[in-house]
Structure 1
Amino acid sequence: MLIQNDENIGLWTTDLDGNVRIGYRQTLEGGHEILAVQKDGLTPVYTCRIEETCRPIRFHKDGQRVYLISNRDGNLIQLKLLNLESQQSQVVEVDPENQVDFGDAVFSEATDELIATFYVGDRIRIYPQNDKIAADLAFLKQQLPDVDIVLQSLTLDDRFGLVGTRSDVNPGSTYLFDRSTQTLEKLYDDRPELPREHLATMQPIRYTARDGLEIPAYLTLPQGVDPVNLPVIVMPHGGPWARDMWGYNPFTQFLANRGYAVLQPNFRGSTGYGKAFLNAGNNEWGTGAMQHDLTDGVQYLIDAGIADPERVGIFGVSYGGYATLAGLAFTPDIYAAGASMVGPSNLITLLKSIPPYWESIKAKFALRLGDPDDPSDRTRLEAQSPLFSADQIQAPLMVVHGAKDPRVKQAESDQIVAALRDLGRPVEYLIAPDEGHGFRKEINSLAMTAGLEKFLAEHLGGRYQAEMSSDVQAQLEKLTVDIETVTVNESSEPEIVELDPAIYNRYLGTYQLLPNMQIAIRVEEQQLLAQATGQEAFTLYPVSETKFVAQVADITIQFNLSADETVKGLTLYQGDQELIASKVK
């Protein structure tokens, strides 16, 4: 064993000799810290707050410094070198165009020197750090035009390299590059069966939001059709703390093939464009500027003559599903149809469902979306929740969910479907009982796509292939829900019982919930408390002698007894999650 993890470390970094030298973990406040491994323990050498980014990448060849990425001292994420002894850092590089965050670094296997950096702007930009790499890149760009190039890895002597390429009409190809002879050998294509000649090109565009902020986006137009008065699908990405990039996207290509122009905005709150752009999305869901950025993108296409204002739809997954619901609820005059996949409809129940072992996610949501236990935040969250404005939704809606989704519970879709049904509004519903946060099984994906294709064709007028294989047809029928059967379970508070506080003593101790998480049970002021590793304690209220509930995050804890009535462990329930923990002390 190289090192024992007793300090909740999420990432270890070795030096170039294989010695474990750096630990990296999340702080109780939601930030991160880099710690040096020393004989007497771990010493913090670099920290960043929850709204900042910092992470070690690789040791410098001198063994005393470590490369890291950080935006602690600036807007954009930079590449830095941190001296472990002095704890001082210096900037190695920041985007030469001052537009986007640092992307990644490539190091020589022979000399351990930094040889290239790259950034993801409208497309990938690579910056060589020496003349040899500059010559290599010039050769590769000449041989591989119209694609983004990625230097994937090098042999130990740096002679051979794996080079990856990708584009909007190519999911990817991989080549073996002989740097000494300047020759390329194609090894394989990803998805070689795709008819690349029928795929549509993706254009990076910019448009100005109503408050003057420039919004980067991608526009894909259908082949063989004049870009005038087209049906349009706005496709906001999930996350929302993520971004879309130039390259092959199966949903984009499918929709373009069916005749739709596809707009993918990197709305404010997206990552990759600096801290200010990311923070501009804080608390701006639904009725705020994040959604306005989508609306302004539609107006840009209308003003350009590309979009038919009567045939604009919106489709998204996760946050994109939420943005779909918000678009239909808060801007009902904009969209003629919408499709939401695993999208939350009620931000309060979404936040309340975050389990205690996702404390880092909970802290991020509290910063960037709000705290449902704060009265002022709760009022805003209700106003930003499409469920509470369901009566404003007029356009037809298709809802898709996986019954095993641990992030966005099925109830988020159930409640919006039931609300629209009761209002007499057109709504369709697909549920896959064997899927989670997004579909992974091919038959489910094919069935869902077939259903989506038909739905959009009916309401926006795109092309539609009615014929499908019998197994896809059967699966689509299996996934389709009769909306009259949808029920919403109204949560009721369990009845709290009175127990002799002396009973609590039998439960005291530490329980191993996950490999890096324990739950400590203790008594304070005659109340039973539970506290997970690195988190705040919460009170447990008895509903029986062995079963307790918490008023945070809908948690239930059942203490498990052996035949001799001694406590051997506990089971933590939250939503459809069930975690069993053994008592360790």
Structure 2
Amino acid sequence: MTRTAKLLLLATAAGAAVPLAAQSAPGSAVPLIERAKLFGNPTRAAGRLSPDGKWLSYIQPRDGVMNLWVAPASAPNEARPLTAEKVRPIRNAFWSPDSKQLLFINDKGGDENFLLYGVDVATGAQRALTPFEKTRVQLIGGSQKIKDKLLVGVNNRDPRWHDVHLLDLTTGKLTLVFQNDGYSGFVADDDLRLRLVSKPRPDAGSDWFRVTNNVPEKTAVVSYGLDDSQTTAPLGFTTDGKTLYWTDARGRDRAALFAQDVATGKMTVVGESARADVSGGLFHPRTGALEAYSDYYLRNDYVPVGDSVRADLAFLKAQNKGDFAVTSRTEADDKWLVSFDPVTAPAATYLYDRRAKTLTQLYVSRPELVGAPLVGMHPQEIKSRDGLTLVSYLTLPKGADPDGDGKPNAAVPMVLLVHGGPWARDGFGYNSAHQWLANRGYAVLSVNFRASTGFGKSFTSAGDGQWGRKMHDDLIDAVDWAVKRGVTTKDKVAIMGGSYGGYATLAGLTMTPDTFACGVDIVGPSNLHTLLKTIPPYWEAVKLQFYKRMGDPTTDAGRAMLTERSPLTYADKIKKPLLIGQGANDPRVNVAESDQIVAAMKAKNIPVTYIVFPDEGHGFARPTNNIAFNAAAENFLAGCLGGRAEPVGGAIAASTAQVKEGAQHVAGLAPTAQ
């Protein structure tokens, strides 16, 4: 099983052209790209090769819902459906090590209680492999030697901790291997033996312990505190168990890849970047040996380690089809699936034959966007007021920047699009939200503010205790940069984002009420006290990290900070239009977060538009719901910034959207009089 497959499980989204709402808006001569083409189901996605090379799997629509399909590798267009999900889309899948089953996870209504399912490729029989209620599965290990079994964690006994089980993929039997009473991380070898476990420390770091016969040793072999908690962790063993790879920032600022000799304990740097954290790469599918690592500062680049894939990476780069990612490899390593992202065209996935050095296009993810007026993305380095470098990404409306220098000929309205996390990052590539907003006439700026990950632990730690303060200052500094550069004007900037980006939106409209013209908050927390009280129980291991980085609710000083940094505290300061979207089943940012600030605004007679989706969680997974909210958002923004908008039309009616408040404030939301 590839490391990509493991990450997928752990991680663990028409009609004729319509008239424009604002013909005089920026870019009005550019054809409008319909929402359905940007946010509807892709035609095909997430292609994967089976380890034995006999099959290709895809995720593509069946009766309007994303499902698993499979085709012979020799006849990739002869795909047949394997699953028949009717409501909740399947978003990721991976192959069993023996190539007999496709495995996927799914939840109910966005509750994030992800269960593991297996589908037999030969018979199409589907089975729940973790058939429990209110349980979240965690994949711990797969094997090249023991191909009919996996190690999985399930938290059905204690929702805070995952007990480790051996899962027999043939019979579905689960056998308890390790009862977990306080460990947060696990690493197994290719014999499916637990070799390392981690336990949270009082300082919000972690201690890692060796495991013998499923019993952890008493003394930690690796320890680190809060500063290294986002950058240091074991990645996995080579198949022979002799080498353990780590991403490690101890004693340095940026994480590097280390190879540890298990026998001697010696750590050797095998991959590092001058400007970014290195956290992963390409590992040989049979041996598990590192062959290349990812150097991702402004854009991602594969750096070969040794010569095993050096020629392949050079060949793929020379195709000039855009930045590429190797998404799947056969066990024999003779075939790869490679996705190319040209940004100004939809991504395409190719079959790469290593021996013949040939590329065969398998599919374009969104063929309806071929020839659409998509635009480029400009990486930028913006300086904060205290000297930090904020890696950012700017997209401009088509025609606004004829010479392609990332500066429009005349200022245009702008949307500051803030990422979630906040311990995550924005990156380079095709971005549906950027393309959508740019097509509507806006510049779009995404900023890796302090606390974002990927740029060294000091940059991440610079956000500790800075919610609503220096983290927000970085966003303001980026807006000031855009104004000084002539990208936009100070009175024509909206702020928009989901999760932490939703918080930033609320902070922007409450703590800096004159800075933004309006805001769009998607599943954003308004009250940091209630946010921390309602985080899911399976986040127990990282709870202290939240306390240390946000404010500690167990201390007087911490509680005071949480009050001071909560947008709800300043709800009466809101003076600019606000649109809020929320999933009713969100386990991370409870629906009460949006309810509270809406109630506070109503109490002060401050207008707000509030849309709730009863079948969604932390974001909108069902395309009809995503399209509906974006229909509201673009018409909201058109009223605020003067850009273009495709009319709402029947988008709301086609979804489960409940417009709880303020339909009258957005064109097309209020029902028409009969």
TM over 0.5: yes
Deviations 1:118-159 (A, max 9, x none): 12211111111234522222221122x151122234333433
1:81 aligns with 2:273: no
Q: Where do 1:30-49 residues align within 5 Å? A: 30-39=204-213, 41-43=215-217, 44-49=220-225
Deviation of 1:234 after TM superposition, in Å, equals 0.3
Kindly indicate whether the alpha-carbon contact (under 8 Å) linking 1:204 and 1:217 is maintained by their aligned counterparts in 2.
yes
Kindly indicate whether the alpha-carbon contact (under 8 Å) linking 2:463 and 2:549 is maintained by their aligned counterparts in 1.
yes
Kindly indicate whether the alpha-carbon contact (under 8 Å) linking 1:34 and 1:56 is maintained by their aligned counterparts in 2.
no
Deviation of 1:465 after TM superposition, in Å, equals 1.9
How far, CA to CA, are the matches of 1:476 and 1:39 in structure 2?
Answer: 52
What amino acid does structure 1 have at the position aligned with 2:281?
Answer: A
Deviations 1:177-217 (A, max 9, x none): 12222111112222222245411211100111111111110
Between 1:319-328 and 1:154-163, the stretch displaced more is 154-163
The aligned residue for residue 618 of structure 2 is 437
How far, CA to CA, are the matches of 2:582 and 2:333 in structure 1?
Answer: 48
Q: Secondary structure at the match of 1:26?
A: strand
Identity of aligned residues (%): 41
How far, CA to CA, are the matches of 1:105 and 1:38 in structure 2?
Answer: 29
Q: Which structure's CA Rg is the greater one?
A: 1
What amino acid does structure 1 have at the position aligned with 2:421?
Answer: G
How far, CA to CA, are the matches of 1:396 and 1:110 in structure 2?
Answer: 56
How far, CA to CA, are the matches of 1:467 and 1:473 in structure 2?
Answer: 7
The aligned residue for residue 480 of structure 1 is 659
The aligned residue for residue 199 of structure 2 is 26
The aligned residue for residue 351 of structure 2 is 176
Deviation of 1:378 after TM superposition, in Å, equals 1.9
What amino acid does structure 2 have at the position aligned with 1:184?
Answer: L
How far, CA to CA, are the matches of 2:285 and 2:559 in structure 1?
Answer: 53
> What TM-score, normalized by structure 1, do the two folds share?
0.77
| Residue of 239, 251, 254 corresponding to 2:436 | 254
The aligned residue for residue 112 of structure 2 is none
How far, CA to CA, are the matches of 1:285 and 1:19 in structure 2?
Answer: 41
* Cα distance, 1:84–1:134 mapped onto 2, change above 3 Å: closer
How far, CA to CA, are the matches of 1:460 and 1:168 in structure 2?
Answer: 25
1:338 aligns with 2:551: no
| Residue of 298, 304, 310 corresponding to 2:485 | 304
Deviation of 1:381 after TM superposition, in Å, equals 2.0
Kindly indicate whether the alpha-carbon contact (under 8 Å) linking 2:492 and 2:641 is maintained by their aligned counterparts in 1.
yes
Deviation of 1:394 after TM superposition, in Å, equals 1.1
Kindly indicate whether the alpha-carbon contact (under 8 Å) linking 2:495 and 2:518 is maintained by their aligned counterparts in 1.
yes
Deviation of 1:240 after TM superposition, in Å, equals 0.5
How far, CA to CA, are the matches of 1:219 and 1:387 in structure 2?
Answer: 30
Q: Secondary structure at the match of 2:235?
A: strand
Deviation of 1:476 after TM superposition, in Å, equals 7.0
Q: Secondary structure at the match of 1:381?
A: helix
Q: Where do 1:184-223 residues align within 5 Å? A: 184-223=359-398
Kindly indicate whether the alpha-carbon contact (under 8 Å) linking 1:78 and 1:101 is maintained by their aligned counterparts in 2.
yes
The aligned residue for residue 325 of structure 1 is 506
Q: Where do 1:136-285 residues align within 5 Å? A: 136-143=312-319, 145-170=320-345, 172-226=347-401, 227=408, 228-285=410-467
Deviation of 1:478 after TM superposition, in Å, equals 5.1
Root-mean-square deviation over aligned CA pairs: 2.4
Kindly indicate whether the alpha-carbon contact (under 8 Å) linking 1:399 and 1:429 is maintained by their aligned counterparts in 2.
yes
The aligned residue for residue 135 of structure 1 is 311
Kindly indicate whether the alpha-carbon contact (under 8 Å) linking 2:614 and 2:656 is maintained by their aligned counterparts in 1.
no
Between 1:312-321 and 1:99-108, the stretch displaced more is 99-108
* Cα distance, 1:475–1:164 mapped onto 2, change above 3 Å: closer
1:428 aligns with 2:604: no
How far, CA to CA, are the matches of 2:355 and 2:652 in structure 1?
Answer: 54
How far, CA to CA, are the matches of 1:183 and 1:258 in structure 2?
Answer: 39
How far, CA to CA, are the matches of 1:160 and 1:190 in structure 2?
Answer: 20
Task: Point out the structure with the larger helix share.
Answer: 1
Deviations 1:163-187 (A, max 9, x none): 2222433553222212222111112
The aligned residue for residue 4 of structure 1 is 177
Kindly indicate whether the alpha-carbon contact (under 8 Å) linking 2:412 and 2:487 is maintained by their aligned counterparts in 1.
yes
Instruction: Kindly tell me the number of residue pairs found equivalent between the two proteins.
Output: 477
The aligned residue for residue 533 of structure 2 is 352
1:393 aligns with 2:577: no
Between 1:475-484 and 1:214-223, the stretch displaced more is 475-484
What amino acid does structure 1 have at the position aligned with 2:317?
Answer: K
How far, CA to CA, are the matches of 2:329 and 2:655 in structure 1?
Answer: 46
What amino acid does structure 2 have at the position aligned with 1:426?
Answer: P
How far, CA to CA, are the matches of 2:483 and 2:414 in structure 1?
Answer: 10
1:115 aligns with 2:291: yes
Deviation of 1:431 after TM superposition, in Å, equals 1.1
> What TM-score, normalized by structure 2, do the two folds share?
0.67
Deviation of 1:355 after TM superposition, in Å, equals 4.6
Deviation of 1:40 after TM superposition, in Å, equals 7.6
Q: Secondary structure at the match of 2:492?
A: strand
How far, CA to CA, are the matches of 1:87 and 1:6 in structure 2?
Answer: 28
Between 1:472-481 and 1:77-86, the stretch displaced more is 472-481
How far, CA to CA, are the matches of 1:128 and 1:406 in structure 2?
Answer: 40
How far, CA to CA, are the matches of 1:41 and 1:359 in structure 2?
Answer: 22
How far, CA to CA, are the matches of 2:652 and 2:594 in structure 1?
Answer: 23
Structure 2 stretches of 5 or more lacking a match? 1-165, 167-174, 402-407, 664-674
Deviations 1:228-247 (A, max 9, x none): 22010001100111011111
Kindly indicate whether the alpha-carbon contact (under 8 Å) linking 1:431 and 1:480 is maintained by their aligned counterparts in 2.
yes
| Residue of 234, 251, 265 corresponding to 1:56 | 234
Kindly indicate whether the alpha-carbon contact (under 8 Å) linking 2:195 and 2:212 is maintained by their aligned counterparts in 1.
no
Kindly indicate whether the alpha-carbon contact (under 8 Å) linking 1:46 and 1:87 is maintained by their aligned counterparts in 2.
no
* Cα distance, 1:155–1:230 mapped onto 2, change above 3 Å: same
What amino acid does structure 2 have at the position aligned with 1:279?
Answer: S
How far, CA to CA, are the matches of 1:51 and 1:376 in structure 2?
Answer: 21
Kindly indicate whether the alpha-carbon contact (under 8 Å) linking 2:392 and 2:446 is maintained by their aligned counterparts in 1.
yes
What amino acid does structure 2 have at the position aligned with 1:276?
Answer: S
* Cα distance, 1:110–1:449 mapped onto 2, change above 3 Å: closer
* Cα distance, 1:384–1:113 mapped onto 2, change above 3 Å: closer
What amino acid does structure 1 have at the position aligned with 2:283?
Answer: F
Q: Where do 1:432-581 residues align within 5 Å? A: 432-466=613-647, 468=649, 470=650, 472-475=651-654, 479-482=658-661
Deviations 1:60-105 (A, max 9, x none): 466333112122232111111223344442322211xx11111312
Kindly indicate whether the alpha-carbon contact (under 8 Å) linking 1:22 and 1:34 is maintained by their aligned counterparts in 2.
no
Kindly indicate whether the alpha-carbon contact (under 8 Å) linking 1:103 and 1:120 is maintained by their aligned counterparts in 2.
no
* Cα distance, 1:475–1:130 mapped onto 2, change above 3 Å: same
Deviation of 1:304 after TM superposition, in Å, equals 0.7
- Higher relative CO (Cα under 8 Å, sequence separation at least 6) belongs to 2
* Cα distance, 1:113–1:23 mapped onto 2, change above 3 Å: closer
* Cα distance, 1:40–1:389 mapped onto 2, change above 3 Å: closer
